[in-house]
Structure 1
């Protein structure tokens, strides 16, 4: 199916608190040539980056655990999520952003990162493009305790988990974060560990 033409786009800001929620009203031309007015809401939180840190010899990965309110209100009993390190670009390029996030969240300093793909994470309602990276780590790269930026109230716990256990945690539903599952599956397909 080919995308029809779009015209008369009107944007209305519904909320601009934490991030921005916009309502778009527009005319969309259907396949048969007729026009219809449509309305959609889109949440704009900016673009982000995520990274899987892995240790090829130990066959381990670095993940984080933190409280996520949206999951708590949607049937996640304690609201805790196990995830790869990630963050919003905040006007930075994806490589600079992810290096900064790794240091803040995990305490590791990585120099070399490899971008492996990018994806819209929830294209029906969120504008965000997420840039996905991988990088190796070793114990000599640990320069701080991690835990997140002090001014961001993240309270992040840093976890070093054998890849075999991370795979099992996905199957058991302990790891339920999409970006984390995507990067762990990428590591399995590429036989990184």
Structure 2
């Protein structure tokens, strides 16, 4: 039996419609014991996005970003809200993910790349958000640098560009300085596939 046959009476209502859309979803779900139960969930739809690990094989370096993320800021703990991440961004309406990631690289870190490799797709938090992340890797060289990056001012972005040795990045993950799931996955992908020497 398909999941479609185990769902009925799906209704959605909008709880908030600001940066993304927060829905309350009610539905009936057929459990394996043959009983139908009415369930309620909240789902957040902010569209899908891309992220990319830029690496320089010759120098043994990668490009990451550091920026403030309000969702992880906690004034009552040591969480300061600063997040070290791979270059990433949201896909515009009707935009191809490949085109999106190339655009984001230029906007955020100032490199003009032509060739990217999509390595996998993932749902980071499928229990709560609809977002799908398209994950990429690409080599960069110094001659691809066209400006300083830093994000788009109209989108209120303030992004610090970091060029770090791959060894340093692995250490930062080990020491819990890097906590972003996509970044950890991409670094581990690079490690498994030996994109850079360790």
Correspondence for 1:161 = 164
Following superposition, the deviation at residue 76 of structure 1 comes to 5.0
CA RMSD across the alignment: 1.4
Mean Cα displacement is larger for which, 76-85 or 8-17?
76-85
Aligned residue pairs, count: 193
**Are the counterparts in 2 of residues 14 and 23 from structure 1 also a CA contact under 8 Å?**
yes
2:82 maps to which of 73, 80, 83? 80
CA contact (8 A) 1:2 1:31 kept: no
Cα displacement string for residues 77-132 of structure 1 (whole angstroms, at most 9, x for unaligned residues): 32111100000101211001000000000000000000000000100000000000
Structure 2 length-normalised TM: 0.94
Alignment of 1:106-185 (within 5 A): 106-185=109-188
Please say if 1:70 is aligned against 2:71. Answer: yes
Separation in 2 of the partners of 1:98 and 1:128? 15
Q: Which residue of 2 aligns with 1:36?
A: 37
Matched position secondary structure for 2:118: strand
Between the aligned partners of 1:104 and 1:165, the Cα distance in structure 2 is 25
Q: How far is 1:150 from its partner?
A: 1.3
Which region of structure 1 is more displaced relative to structure 2, 64-73 or 137-146? 64-73
Q: In the TM superposition, what is the alpha-carbon distance from 1:153 to its structure 2 partner?
A: 1.2
Cross-structure match for 1:50: 51
Distance 1:6 1:76, change over 3 A: farther
Residue equivalent to 1:17 = 18
Q: Provide, for residues 43-72 of structure 1, a one-character-per-residue CA deviation record: whole Å limited to 9, x for no partner.
A: 000000000000001110000000111111
Q: 2: distance between equivalents of 1:168 and 1:32? A: 48
Q: Distance in 2 between matches of 1:21 and 1:146?
A: 31
SS at match of 2:11: strand
Q: 1:32: Cα distance to partner?
A: 1.5
Task: Give the distance between the partners of 1:78 and 1:142, measured in 2 at CA.
Answer: 30
Secondary structure at the aligned position of 2:42 is classed as strand
* 3-state SS in 1 of match to 2:19: coil
Residues 1:148 and 1:10: Cα distance change in structure 2 (over 3 Å) = same
